Amino acid sequence: MKKRTDNFDKFANQKKGSAIKEAFRQEKKKIKAEARAAGEEMRKKKIEKMRGEQEKATSFKPQAASKGKAAGFEPRASSHTGAKKHTSSKQKNTVPEAQAPNLPIQGKTGDEQMPLNKFIAHAGVCGRREAADLVKDGKVTVNGDKVFEPGYKVSSKDKVLVKGKQVFLQRNAVYILLNKPKDYITTASDPQGRKTVLDLVKTATPERVYPVGRLDRNTTGVLILTNDGELAQKLTHPSFEVKKIYEVTLDKPVIKKDLEAILSGITLEDGFVQADAVGYADDKLKNIVGIEIHSGRNRIVRRIFEHLGYDVKGLDRVMFANLTKKNVDRGKWRFLNEKEVRLLKFMNNSFLKKKVTSQ
């Protein structure tokens, strides 16, 4: 058999760029896992040490302590009841809605334990998924120890630092609807110093709020900002399939065949996508199209039309969930009222994707 003299085998067996990247990723993953394990071990030792000191401190109890209140000690149950009464009296004396838009975050007491990423979200830093990424990337410390597990339980008694800055649970929930203009970034801050949506609502509340989901820099329309991490999680999670309606202005008239393709579904580089409804916004102006979609994938509307050969000249979100920008000028904002918040919290079926259920 004639020996091969070409270099094909050498080329075929050469380590490809993707293999090198994968090896690098695995090595990085291994280092992170080792750092996480070391952090957990250190934290366990610290907790054990603290428990030992507490046991020593409580091993001798003065007789006066049994007298409870007389010895300066008040049972937890009675103090909690008092707190409840104080809260209810506050709620009865509410001022008109326009003057007091802040709503209490229900079920969030200072001593309640919750996952670390949820704590960060309720502190108004970002959404829960982004908070989980911050924890995994080692940018969060709890009581001086770096924590890598998003589900690690904490309470308001713990000292939580995100990127070196201490964060605290928000006491009041704030819900803002902004009619986003062009040239604003949908982030809490921008390292390049560009304008962000928070610049537009900085006078709205002393509480720290953040945007729910994202709109591209040149996309306009309805954007929600809040410090309610639980609601933000619901509104952005793919499983809830929250309805969004956009008005799209294109460089040329859209042919009917392409509208049908969008409705039946097309396959993009990251998978299949299908609009819930699509049609001309005006029969005379066929380059302006309305599209209803529930997918939250990045730049999804722009990519749908670009895939079909159109250039998107303007993109405006006219509805998110059940909320529109009616009576809110571009660049302006308003607080959501209690009814709107209630509908969002209970995921009213009117603004979710219609699902066919079998009985």
List pLDDT tens digits, range 271-304: 999 999 999 988 888 999 999 998 878 889 999 9
Q: Give the homologous superfamily in CATH for domain 244-320.
A: Pseudouridine synthase (3.30.2350.10)
Q: How confident is the model at residue 350 (pLDDT cuts 50, 70, 90)?
A: low
DSSP 23: H
List the single range of 11-25, 148-162, 219-233, 289-303 with lowest mean pLDDT: 11-25
Supply φ then ψ for residue 115, to 5 degrees: -60, 150
Domain borders along the chain are 98-173, 175-240+329-359, 244-320
Average pLDDT over residues 53-66: 46
**pLDDT at position 41, please?**
77
Is the four-CA dihedral 79, 82, 84, 87 of positive or negative sign? negative
**pLDDT at position 83, please?**
39
For 175-240+329-359, the fitting CATH number among 3.40.50.620, 1.25.40.10, 3.40.50.880, 3.30.70.580 is 3.30.70.580
What are the structure tokens assigned to 179, written together?
């009619």
Average pLDDT over residues 50-69: 47
Residue 172's closest CA among 117, 124, 225?
A: 124
What are the structure tokens assigned to 118, written together?
């949820």
**pLDDT at position 82, please?**
40
Q: Are strands 175-180 and 333-335 parallel, antiparallel or unpaired?
A: antiparallel
Mark whether 216 is an active-site residue: yes
Whether the CB-CB separation of 221 and 180 falls below 8 Å is answered with: yes
Whether the CB-CB separation of 273 and 306 falls below 8 Å is answered with: no
Say which of 216, 228, 270, 282 is annotated catalytic: 216
Residue 55 pLDDT greater than 50, yes or no: yes
- What are the residues whose beta carbons fall under 8 Å from the beta carbon of 184, sequence distance 6 or more? 195, 196, 197, 199, 200, 217
Q: Given CATH 1.20.1250.20, say whether it is the number of domain 98-173.
A: no
How many residues would you count in the chain? 359
Residue 347 pLDDT greater than 60, yes or no: yes
Average pLDDT over residues 315-326: 93
Residue 61 pLDDT greater than 60, yes or no: no
User: How many C-beta neighbours within 10 Å does residue 79 have?
Assistant: 10
